[in-house]
Amino acid sequence: MAHWEVAAAAACLIGFAATSRRLERALITPAMFFVAAGAILGGDALGLIDLQLRSGPFRALVEVTLTLVLFADAARIDLGALRREYAVPARLLGIGLPLTIALGAVVAVVLIGQLTVAEAIVLAVVLAPTDAALGEVVVSDRRLASPIRQGLNVESGLNDGICIPILFIALAYAEVEAGAEGTQRAVTLVLEELGYGLLGGIAAGVIGAGLLRLALRRGLAEPVWLRLLPVACAALAYGIADGLGGSGFIAAFAGGLTFGTLRETTADASPSFVEESGQLFAGLTFLIFGAALVVPVLRDLTWEAGVYAVLSLTVIRMLPVAIALAGRGERLQTKALVGWFGPRGLASIAFAAILVEDASLPHTPTILVATSATVMLSVFVHGLSARPLVDLYVRGPASGPTDGSRAPEPAAGD
């Protein structure tokens, strides 16, 4: 970043931090604020932030952000709660996610005719992960039944990690189809990404959790440094995997899952600092996304990509969710609520950056426009609709325990 770009980004962070409570009451989410600010400050407007998706700083920012988010998402999974309320997330991930990818690929082939089948699968995988942070009230409002909140939260935390290896497989298939890679070479690359990624993540998670337990039991570390330990553990996972030729993102997810499973349950070094760091970098990512892509995408947007973006957030998401939840006794309103709140955000941006930087597909610009249009639409429609739809839902009959779940939990102190 140039000096004025750093100053502009810092000013945006300060501005949001200073007014965050007021903005939240006005239904303005962090993603909405930073995407809009980026569009205003970008090279096609005021020109204070002039970074491209292919630029080294943006790629580095995306990698750091997704590494921290993946590690934190995996580390904070409450295995006990998941064992008690596994049905909804298991259905969303085991049935809904594959159906979403399959339906997204079919719609892409039919609607965007220039894409090959392999490229359509890549587009569907890029847009499959959800981002609960774009509609945070849905997973934090205790008026909603716990299985709904837990299901959406776990789905969002796990589906980006699950989609990463699928993305590498889909890219390998697409590059073989396009003649950019031989089959044997593509298979080797995928196996290296997966294998070394898992190895690096598990190794870092074991090391980090082991040292944390030792430090806590023997009083070896200051609390402030214990809070930094998970961040270093995430970086270690990425670094080991990347050094071996594997996927740092797979390593971050595997490392977080290992760390969260093995660490002391009473540890002060919770992944909260990782989450806070992830929020900071996520804000910057959305800022640069807005600066680099909003105006160009709106300029180059075709009707096919626009329609696909709308379908991606509605039919392609909501129909698989309805099928996944069939037979559980939920009412239509519950299925609609869970289906609607599948926002696309950070993971899709990161996957798009990987696609632009590492892949050699003939129709990468088309995939990028469709992806960016979907993320931009999702940032605003999900951000604006989250609280009003939750309020409408809890006032209606669908929020009761007849939805196949327990009644909403009372808020603390009730």
Q: Can you spell out the DSSP letters for 206-231?
A: HHHHHHHHHHHHHT-S-HHHHHHHHH
Whole-number Å distance between alpha carbons of 230 and 247: 19
pLDDT digits (tens, 9 = 90+) for 305-332: 999 999 999 999 999 999 999 887 778 8
Residue 221 phi, psi (nearest 5): -130, 150
Structure tokens at 108: 């892409």
For the chain, give the percent of residues with pLDDT over 90: 33
Burial class for 14, CB neighbours closer than 10 Å (0-12, 13-18, 19+): exposed
- Of 7-11, 221-225, 373-377, the range with the highest mean pLDDT is 373-377
What does the alpha-carbon distance between residue 281 and residue 287 come to, in Å, rounded to a whole number? Answer: 10
Res. 345: pLDDT tops 80: yes
Contact between residue 30 and residue 282 where contact means Cβ atoms under 8 Å apart: yes
- pLDDT on residue 185: 62
**Mean pLDDT throughout 230-238?**
92
Residue that wins the pLDDT comparison between 254 and 161: 254
Report whether 27 contacts 387 (CB < 8 A). yes
pLDDT at position 112 over 70: yes
Pull the structure tokens for residue 320: 């698989």
Q: Give me the domains of the chain, ranges plus CATH numbers.
A: 56-268+304-400 (1.20.1530)
* Percentage of the chain lying above the pLDDT 70 cut: 87
CB atoms within 10 A of CB 314: 14
Calpha distance 133→31 (Å, rounded):
9
For the four alpha carbons of 320, 324, 329 and 335, in that order, the dihedral sign comes to negative
Report how far apart the first and last C-alpha atoms of the chain are (Å, whole number). Answer: 49
Q: Vertex 349, ends 348 and 353: CA angle to 5°?
A: 115
Across 207-218, average pLDDT: 89
Res. 402 pLDDT band, cuts 50 70 90: very low
C-alpha 157, offset from chain centre? 7
Tokens matching residue 106: 């079919």
* Residue partners of 290: CB distance under 8 A and separation at least 6: 34, 35, 36, 37, 38, 39, 42
**pLDDT attached to residue 222:** 83
Dist CA 280 CA 9 (whole Å)? 11
> Which residues touch 42 (CB under 8 Å, ≥6 apart)?
48, 49, 50, 290, 291, 292, 294, 295
**Residue 321 CA neighbour count, 13 Å, CB half:** 28
Helices in 112-222 by DSSP H: which ranges?
117-126, 136-140, 146-178, 183-218
pLDDT at position 42 is 85
Most confident of 20-24, 372-376, 396-400: 372-376
Q: What is the pLDDT of residues 143-170, one digit of tens each?
A: 888 778 878 878 887 788 788 888 888 8
The pTM score is 0.83
Count the Cβ atoms, other than its own, within 10 Å of residue 224.
Answer: 9
Confidence category of residue 366, pLDDT binned at 50, 70, 90: very high
Question: Which residues touch 260 (CB under 8 Å, ≥6 apart)?
Answer: 74, 75, 76, 77, 271
- pLDDT score for 203: 95
Q: Is the pLDDT of residue 85 over 80?
A: no
CA distance 408 to 394: 9
Q: Phi/psi at 142 (nearest 5 deg)? A: -75, 0
Q: Of 318, 319, 368, 365, which Cα lies nearest the Cα of 348?
A: 368
- Helix axis angle for 248-262 and 223-244, nearest 10°, is 140
The answer to whether residues 345 and 35 touch, using CB atoms and an 8 Å cutoff, is: no
Specify the pLDDT at position 184.
66
Cα 282 to Cα 72: distance, rounded to the nearest angstrom: 13
Residue linked to tokens 């935390």:
157
Degrees, nearest 5: CA angle 405-411-414: 115
Closest by CA to 275, choosing from 376, 203, 346, is 346
Quote the Cα angle for 252-255-260, to 5°: 125
Backbone angles phi, psi at 119, to 5 degrees: -65, -35
Q: Enter the tokens of residue 84.
A: 């008690």
Q: How confident is the model at residue 270 (pLDDT cuts 50, 70, 90)?
A: low
